[in-house]
Amino acid sequence: MITPDQETGTKLWHLVKNHEHSDQREGDRGSKMVSEIYLTRLLATKGTLQKFVDDLFETVFSTAHRGSALPLAIKYMFDFLDEQADKRSITDPDVRHTWKSNCLPLRFWVNVIKNPQFVFDIHKSSITDACLSVVAQTFMDSCSTSEHRLGKDSPSNKLLYAKDIPNYKSWVERYYRDISKMPSISDQDMDAYLVEQSRLHGNEFNTLSALNELYFYINKYKEEILTALDRDGYCRKHKLRHKLDQAINLMSGSS
């Protein structure tokens, strides 16, 4: 069942088959094992890891069971997306769901799940990378609004969590629904929150470098951004075009 390894004496397989990750050596006997045996072993390992995967998903997609209060920025951002949908008369709930999934779970959390070395000082081996990709794919499927269809030719990682996907999807829907019911965050509260975050993390980032990168982007799309600010009523009210023009001129003079 386990192909011996010359150095350690064993070779471990977790949530992927032998031939599904890059360490496969040509002629390795493990690749010839019957797929049903592989799937049985994968299911057994999946059962061992199930609680940890469930805990991760429950923490990410919960406003209560997370150990800390939901960041104000998430509520503010989701309300902004709902407002934009209302302005454009978008009534399809799948569109709003997809917007929220694309801007937070699929942009941030998937990246963290697949690349724990971004957060922790650890080495990520190829087999660990392959296993985390299975969890990340399950996470992405849970955020999808399309039907999860499987067939006999579907990859093993899709089959592993097929029965769990509907439950995870309900968690995502509950998460978005719970956030929409929370009290709105005023612009003043959001400004105060950002000022406090800047104070707490003021010495952890190079703000001048970040501003310089923003300047390069804004300067590249200057006309499009200024035109958009002119067309938006809120931006006109707060004279954001004039303020941005001043910032661009200041940066241009400095450079």
Give the pLDDT band (50/70/90) at residue 13: low
Give the pLDDT band (50/70/90) at residue 26: very low
Separation between Cα atoms, residue 181 and residue 184, nearest integer Å: 9
Interhelix angle for 222-231 vs 240-254, to 10°? 160
Distances (CA, A) of 7 to 10, 40, 100, 212: 8, 26, 47, 50
Break the chain into its structural domains and give their ranges.
37-185, 214-253
Q: What is the pLDDT of residues 126-142, one digit of tens each?
A: 989 989 999 999 999 99
For residue 131, give the nearest of 205, 33, 226, 52 by alpha carbon.
52
CATH number listed for the domain at residues 37-185: 1.10.506.10
Give the pLDDT band (50/70/90) at residue 36: low
Task: Return the percent helix, strand and coil in the chain, to nearest 5.
Answer: 65, 0, 35
Residue 80 near residue 73, CB atoms below 8 Å: no
Separation between Cα atoms, residue 228 and residue 224, nearest integer Å: 6
Dump strand ranges (E) for the chain. Answer: none
For residue 104, give the nearest of 80, 78, 86, 132 by alpha carbon.
78
Separation between Cα atoms, residue 251 and residue 225, nearest integer Å: 16
Q: What is the mean pLDDT of residues 183-205?
A: 91
pLDDT at res. 7: 57
Separation between Cα atoms, residue 140 and residue 143, nearest integer Å: 5
Residue 176 burial (C-beta neighbours within 10 Å; 0-12, 13-18, 19+): buried
- Average pLDDT over all residues of the chain: 86
pLDDT at res. 35: 62
